[in-house]
Amino acid sequence: MNDAAKPTGELTLRTLAMPTDANPAGDIFGGWVMSQMDLASGIRAGERAHGRVVTAAVKEMAFQLPVKIGDTLNVYTEITRVGRTSITLQVEAWAHRARHRTLEKVTAGTFIMVALDEDGKPSPVPAE
Ligand SMILES: CC(C)(COP(=O)(O)OP(=O)(O)OC[C@H]1O[C@@H](n2cnc3c(N)ncnc32)[C@H](O)[C@@H]1OP(=O)(O)O)[C@@H](O)C(=O)NCCC(=O)NCCS
């Protein structure tokens, strides 16, 4: 990793890319990466909302580099906006290539999570 390329946000989730998450060529499915980003968003937004949250929207995403079996996926999150019931996060996924000891940005996206009450209805995000 060089100084020009550093993750933005808080490291929220780390996990290992396994063979079951890959196609026969050894490339990890994009859906798996998005799923980890969704989990990280849920963790971070849930902590901010002090309760249950749900994914309302994911903005356009593009995959710049592949994730390979054996890479560690690091997901960074930053809360960029808190609305009445919604929390917007900028989420980055970085692959740590163990063999090469490098950290490379794979993709990034904007996730919008909504706080819910016990009935599953949007609920105000409490003040910090
Ligand atoms: C997300 C959900 C709770 C929103 O319910 P709703 O009745 O439309 O609620 P509202 O219109 O009051 O919107 C709630 C908040 O979400 C935001 N929001 C809703 N849809 C959005 C979208 N597509 N893009 C951006 N923000 C959105 C609204 O702007 C609002 O934010 P604010 O309170 O901070 O102003 C509801 O649509 C839902 O339960 N969807 C399914 C979520 C789900 O199951 N996700 C996993 C998919 S497998």
Q: Report the alpha-carbon distance of residue 50 to residue 94 in Å, rounded.
A: 27
Q: Report the alpha-carbon distance of residue 106 to residue 55 in Å, rounded.
A: 21
Q: Report the alpha-carbon distance of residue 72 to residue 66 in Å, rounded.
A: 12
Instruction: State residue 103 phi and psi, 5-degree precision.
Output: -125, 120
pLDDT of residue 101: 87
Atom index in ligand 1 nearest the CA of residue 55 equals 45
pLDDT of residue 3: 42
Question: Tens digit of pLDDT per residue, the chain (128 long)?
Answer: 544 589 999 999 999 999 999 999 999 999 999 999 999 999 999 999 999 999 999 999 999 999 999 999 999 999 999 999 999 999 999 999 988 889 999 999 999 999 999 999 999 999 98
68 Cα–ligand 1 center, Å: 33
113 Cα–ligand 1 center, Å: 8
Domains of the chain and CATH, by start: 10-115 (3.10.129.10)
Its pTM stands at 0.95
64 Cα–ligand 1 center, Å: 28
Pocket test for ligand 1, best of 79, 86, 111 (most atoms within 8 A of CB): 86
Nearest to 115 by CA among 90, 94, 87: 87
pLDDT of residue 98: 82
